[in-house]
Structures are given as structure tokens and as C-alpha cells.
Amino acid sequence: MTEPRVPLVGVRDLRKRYRSGDTTLEVLRGVDFELAQGEFVSIVGQSGSGKSTLLHLMGLLDAADSGEIRLDGVRVDGVSASRRDRLRNTAIGMVFQAYHLLPELDALENVLAPLLVRHGIFEWMKVRRPMRDRARALLDRFGLGGRLHHKPRQLSGGEMQRVAIARALVTRPRVLLADEPTGNLDESTGAEILDTLCELNRADGLSIVLVTHDAAVAKRADRIVRLAAGRVDDACHASPRKAG
């Protein structure tokens, strides 16, 4: 089982505490987690088990109290703010339960947003055309070719989530972190989104970490990691799809 290859994402002994007044809440109590290149992993757990926190830490949206996070073997926790911003922009794509699209921008602009963040105004003028094509191609692929200039409020939940996935992928990230992407969707729409993710994993070799509390959703992944009380529950280390 132990491969000489460096895992894409490596998390070791990660701890995170939240303080509110006198009480301290230990959310993560030493989590170890690895994601191989091209792997699709589900992290499941009950509410409060720390799965979202783990995802946020891996997405560099928050800082851990101790432990380390490596991306391609390089430590990414504790780096400077600008480098962290840069990594978030280039290496990590994130998808959220509530879609988190910018309401002022239309679908195409939302997909382009991370690229707009990356490039300054003059740089953008130069790279604008290929970037637009890339975003348009992604939206086409997700069946949104005809809705490029709709504002988020004019789109359905499934469409918004697909726009959000396109936005996460437009930067060609190393890893896609999805936080309950089907949580706000009905069953069939949620299934479509999951199909999309599986298809991305299979066809493009995209590495995906999916956080969910829904066992049915988690089953679609290569491997399920269960979090309980801030630790990885080793009892359940099944790889349902590959095993089955």
C-alpha cells in the first residue's frame, strides 16, 4: 500500500481549536489524511465532526493551530498571506453548498472571476480572449452554453452549482475541494452534479475531496474517510467503488 510517490495533498496531525469566550472547542484533534493524484475521496462525518474545518484548512482559508499540510510535498501551512492567496487562486478549486456566486456578475463573468483576480487590468487585456474561450468551453461542457449572460438569480440551483464548478476548474487547479455540493439540491439534481464530478475525476484525472454528511453521496467516491470527534475514524477505510 505504501507508495514511494508523494501524495498530492498530505495532512499530518492537524489540530484546530475554536475559542469563544471561556470555552474552547477542539474541532480537529490530530487529523492525518492523504489524497493521491487523481483520487476522489469523500470525507463524511456528523455535523460538528470537523469535516468542513478540515476542508477549509486544506483550502487555505483558515490557519491550523498545529500540524502540517503539504501540497505536492511542499508545506503550504504557515506561508505568507500573498503566497497563500496565490495558491488558493492557482492550485485549489473550491465548490460550496450555497454555490457562492457573485450576484452582480453573470455566469460567464463568475467563471472568469478567479482569472480576473489573478490578472491585473493590463495583463487581462492581453490574455482576455483565450481565457474567455476556456470559460465558455467549460460552461458548454456543463450544458450552460446558452446561459452565459444570465445572472445567478436567473439560474436554477443545479445550474448555479455547475457554474460554481466551472469557476473552480477554470484555473486548472491541482485539487477540487467540494463542501456539500449537493446539500441545497434535490436528489436528481444532486445526482447530476455528482455525475459531473465523477466524470471529471474519471475523464480528466481531477483530484477531488468531497465533504458530505450523506452516505449515499459519499459512496460515489473512490474512498471514504470518516471523521468523528475531530479524528479520522480508521474503522471505516473502505473503498466502495473500487472494491465493489
> Quick one: which segment of 118-126, 193-201, 221-229, 231-239 binds other proteins (CB under 8 A)?
118-126
CB-nearer residue toward other proteins: 167 or 223 = 167
User: How many residues line the site for other proteins (CB under 8 A)?
Assistant: 32
Query: C-beta of 154: minimal distance to other proteins in Å?
Result: 15
CA distance 237 to 95: 25
CB-nearer residue toward other proteins: 4 or 120 = 120
Rg of the chain over all Cα atoms, to the nearest angstrom: 18
Query: C-beta of 101: minimal distance to other proteins in Å?
Result: 8
Q: How many residues are there in the chain?
A: 244
Is residue 235 a contact residue for other proteins (CB under 8 A)? no
| Of 101, 175, 178, 209, the one binding other proteins by CB under 8 A | 101
CA distance 133 to 227: 40
CA dihedral 149, 151, 152, 155 (to 10 degrees): -70
CA dihedral 44, 46, 50, 51 (to 10 degrees): 20
CB-nearer residue toward other proteins: 59 or 222 = 59
Query: C-beta of 33: minimal distance to other proteins in Å?
Result: 18
| Of 167, 220, 223, 226, the one binding other proteins by CB under 8 A | 167
CB-nearer residue toward other proteins: 67 or 240 = 67
- Tell me how far the alpha carbon of residue 123 is from its chain's centroid: 27
For residues 121-150, which are near other proteins according to CB under 8 A? Answer: 121, 123-124
For residues 58-97, which are near other proteins according to CB under 8 A? Answer: 59, 61-62, 81-82, 85-90, 94, 96
CB-nearer residue toward other proteins: 2 or 47 = 47
| Of 4, 120, 146, 244, the one binding other proteins by CB under 8 A | 120
86: helix, strand or coil: helix
142 touches 123 (CB < 8 A): no
67 touches 77 (CB < 8 A): yes
Give, in order, the Cα–Cα distances in Å from 112 to each of 67, 72, 109, 116: 34, 26, 5, 6
Q: By C-alpha distance, which of 244, 224, 221, 219 is closest to 234? A: 224
Q: Which residues bind other proteins (CB under 8 A)?
A: 56, 59, 61-62, 81-82, 85-90, 94, 96, 100-105, 109, 113-114, 116-121, 123-124, 167
